[in-house]
């Protein structure tokens, strides 16, 4: 095995290295989420950190890495007597994206327990990572229930496994590091909040720094051992500094002044809950220990805020992370130098707190740009052939649920019904591979008729492997939501495009919350374009939508045919993921020979392929042609108006009630 790339040889990425080192000093900080584009040394830095961690003493033979000085009294391999033990390097355990729950938390061997009566628990990755590093690459692609499990274990310092009446608990204290590329989709805000610190990384734009990165990487690839040897002195110095900071940490004093600055900063940036305050306090304390001090200073609080707050103040997935550093400095200055008796700071002092609204809590988006008012329609547009300026989207709203009928088997999500690993039990079947969820009643029913033939005459049940039945469970899946947006001149008329963009933005927000992939096809003029190929990043879709220009004729058939091709290719890539086609149009078709007939033929392709579809009818005005409804019929789908798309729409509720009454009659 080649020597790992030295941590101290990493060029730049100061915030990333600092965040990792602070967690090495104080794992109570809560881990690090590293966000950045590919090729920015995220994985290299995490793997290099594991070589810096001090060695750990463990109880010989204990699968849960108990400390011989203070063994866990509830260890499944215990009880252990306190004493000396073996010493080994700290582990770095990687959690693959496709890992199962059993692989993460451990599993009881159900087959052996039923057939042999032996309770045998096999530890999972959480047990292996105890007193080391648990590294989750592409954490945003991990199933939500797995993220919940590992974050709960990180918060409690223990893992609990409850299966078929057997309860296992073991210690699980580790440094949690997750990396992600935001272009591949975001984590839910609730999960973002569970990571202690976050760091945004990007490749340097300085030529000299990029040259040095390449030079060092080439030298390492040519001779890993020799390159590591040249950095051995720096590595040893950092390792000793981590040990010294850990020893100093209990002596660091967090005064009332620093606590007030922490509380004021979290309040000024309108951070929800109290976790941010606690993480900032622990981070500031670790910063002081890393610097060799026993008192927390204002500079520690400032650095802690830059690492602990950006990911906690995102209100929706379209908000850019980051902090206004000028405002941070004003807040820290306003609350500096206050002792315990100073409970009445000047409301008009530096920073202009005074109970006034935060500078970016209203129209200001936090980056100095103004947010559009609700319902704002943007620039005046016409239905002529010229390209019109991009309209600004109206405020998003909560949409009614659009789903794919039937039962799928795609990736776990929150939109359509599907057979999943987790959910309510709906039946049983013979296991196909390893048994993961036992259906006890079905297993008993399968074994009962054979008891006499097996020589069983007394109480109890004699089970064989063929009797075991796997539970079939039903939950929800994520889908590919492909938006086909009409950007022609007829849509731009009467300034409708702002409302249309607001509706699509609302659907994108819904897709984010339901863990869908999204794609965007637009059509205008004489052709259709794939504005965004299917992706898990709704941020990218929202950005493309915001800059979408309008004008020209309406090549509806071209838009549908392009969407059909996108779905065909995506079906080859991911056959299990079902698609939901959302066509946003007024239904008009112009341009070219027989545009209406061509659009009808294109729509019938989706009906023949049984693609679930919804047409968002954008027609407005006193005279309506009902073309969007006809298009929905050709697609084999349904049509909703912009008003009916709202979850709390009275018109939509009346229509649903009327539809139910007709079906009942």
Specify the pairing of strand 133-137 against strand 92-94: parallel
Is 430 catalytic? The answer is no
d(CA 69, CA 600): 76
Give the whole-angstrom CA distance, residue 363 versus residue 440: 57
Other CB atoms within a 10 A radius of the CB of residue 236 amount to 12
Q: What are phi and psi of 416, to 5 degrees?
A: -110, 155
188: part of which helix (H) or strand (E)? none
Q: Which residues contact 260 (CB under 8 A, 6 or more apart)?
A: 335, 338
H or E stretch at 177: strand 175-180
Closest by CA to 484, choosing from 618, 366, 601, is 618
> What are residue 527's DSSP bridge partners?
524
Residue 240, C-beta contacts closer than 8 angstroms, at least 6 positions apart = none
**Cα 598 from chain centroid (whole Å):** 41
Helix (H), strand (E) at residue 529: strand 527-535
Query: Residue 173 — φ and ψ, nearest 5°?
Result: -110, 120
Residue with tokens 């220990």: 289
- Catalytic site residue from 91, 275, 544, 624: 275
Cis peptide before 79 (omega within 30 of 0): yes
Residue pair 539/180 in contact (Cβ under 8 Å)? The answer is no
Residue of 237, 332, 252, 334 whose CA lies nearest to 286: 252
* DSSP one-letter string for 582-642: EEEE-----SSSSHHHHHHHHHHHHHHTT-EEEEEE---SS----HHHHHHHHHTSEEEET
Share of the chain residues as helix, strand and coil, in percent rounded to the nearest 5? 40, 20, 40
Burial (CB < 10 A; 0-12, 13-18, 19+), residue 422, is middle
Token pair of 67 as six digits = 């400390």
The residue written with tokens 């004493």 in the block is 83
Catalytic residue set: 275
């Amino acid at each position: 095995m080649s020597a790992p790339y030295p941590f101290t040889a990493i060029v730049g990425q100061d915030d990333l290295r600092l965040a990792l080192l602070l967690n090495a000093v104080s794992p109570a900080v809560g881990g690090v989420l590293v966000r950045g584009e590919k090729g920015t040394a995220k994985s290299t830095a995490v793997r290099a950190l594991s070589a810096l961690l001090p060695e750990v003493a463990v109880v010989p033979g204990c699968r849960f890495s108990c400390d011989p000085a203070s063994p866990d009294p509830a260890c499944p391999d215990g009880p252990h007597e306190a004493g000396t033990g073996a010493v080994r390097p700290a582990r770095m355990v990687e959690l693959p994206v496709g890992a199962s729950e059993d692989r993460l938390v451990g599993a009881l061997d159900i087959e052996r327990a039923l057939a042999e009566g032996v309770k045998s628990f096999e530890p999972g990755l959480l047990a292996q990572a105890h007193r080391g590093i648990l590294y989750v690459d592409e954490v945003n692609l991990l199933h939500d229930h797995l993220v919940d499990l590992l974050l709960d274990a990180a918060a409690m310092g223990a893992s609990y496994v409850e299966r078929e009446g057997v309860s296992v608990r073991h210690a699980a204290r580790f440094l949690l590091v997750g990396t992600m590329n935001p272009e591949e989709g975001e984590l839910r805000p609730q999960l973002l909040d569970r990571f202690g610190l976050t760091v945004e990384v990007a490749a340097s734009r300085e030529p000299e720094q990029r040259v040095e990165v390449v030079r060092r990487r080439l030298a390492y690839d040519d001779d890993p051992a020799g390159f590591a040897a040249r950095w051995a002195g720096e590595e040893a110095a950092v390792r000793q500094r981590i040990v010294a900071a850990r020893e100093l940490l209990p002596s660091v004093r967090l005064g009332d002044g620093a606590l007030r600055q922490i509380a004021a900063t979290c309040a000024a940036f309108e951070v929800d809950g109290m976790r941010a305050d606690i993480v900032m306090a622990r981070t500031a304390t670790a910063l002081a220990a890393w610097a060799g001090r026993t008192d927390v200073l204002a500079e520690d609080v400032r650095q802690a805020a830059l690492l602990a707050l950006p990911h906690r103040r995102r209100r929706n997935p379209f908000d850019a992370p980051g902090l206004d550093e000028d405002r941070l400095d004003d807040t820290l200055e306003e609350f500096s130098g206050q002792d315990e008796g100073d409970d009445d700071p000047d409301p008009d002092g530096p920073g202009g707190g005074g109970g006034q609204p935060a500078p970016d809590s209203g129209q200001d988006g936090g980056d100095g740009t103004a947010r559009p008012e609700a319902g704002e329609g943007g620039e005046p547009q016409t239905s002529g052939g010229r390209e019109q300026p991009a309209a600004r989207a109206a405020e998003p709203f909560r949409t009614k649920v659009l789903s794919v009928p039937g039962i799928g088997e795609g990736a776990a999500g929150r939109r359509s019904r599907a057979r999943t690993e987790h959910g309510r039990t709906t039946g049983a079947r013979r296991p196909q591979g390893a048994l993961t969820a036992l259906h006890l009643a079905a297993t008993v029913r399968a074994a009962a008729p054979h008891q006499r033939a097996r020589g069983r005459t007394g109480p109890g049940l004699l089970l064989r492997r063929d009797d075991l039945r796997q539970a079939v469970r039903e939950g929800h899946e994520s889908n590919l939501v492909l938006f086909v947006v009409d950007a022609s001149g007829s849509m731009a008329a009467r300034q409708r495009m702002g409302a249309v963009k607001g509706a699509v933005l609302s659907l994108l927000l819904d897709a984010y919350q339901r863990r869908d992939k999204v794609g965007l096809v637009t059509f205008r003029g004489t052709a259709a374009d794939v504005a965004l190929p299917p992706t898990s990043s709704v941020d990218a879709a929202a950005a493309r939508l915001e800059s979408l220009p309008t004008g020209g004729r309406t090549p509806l058939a071209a838009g549908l045919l392009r969407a059909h091709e996108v779905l065909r290719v995506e079906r080859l890539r991911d056959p299990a993921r079902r698609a939901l086609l959302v066509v946003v149009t007024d239904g008009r078709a112009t341009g070219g020979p027989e545009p209406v007939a061509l659009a009808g033929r294109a729509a019938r392709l989706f009906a023949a392929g049984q693609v679930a579809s919804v047409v968002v009818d954008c027609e407005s005005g006193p005279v309506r042609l009902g073309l969007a409804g006809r298009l929905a019929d050709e697609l084999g789908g349904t049509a909703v108006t912009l008003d009916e798309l709202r979850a709390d729409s009275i018109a939509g509720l009346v229509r649903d009630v009327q539809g139910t009454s007709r079906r009942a009659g």
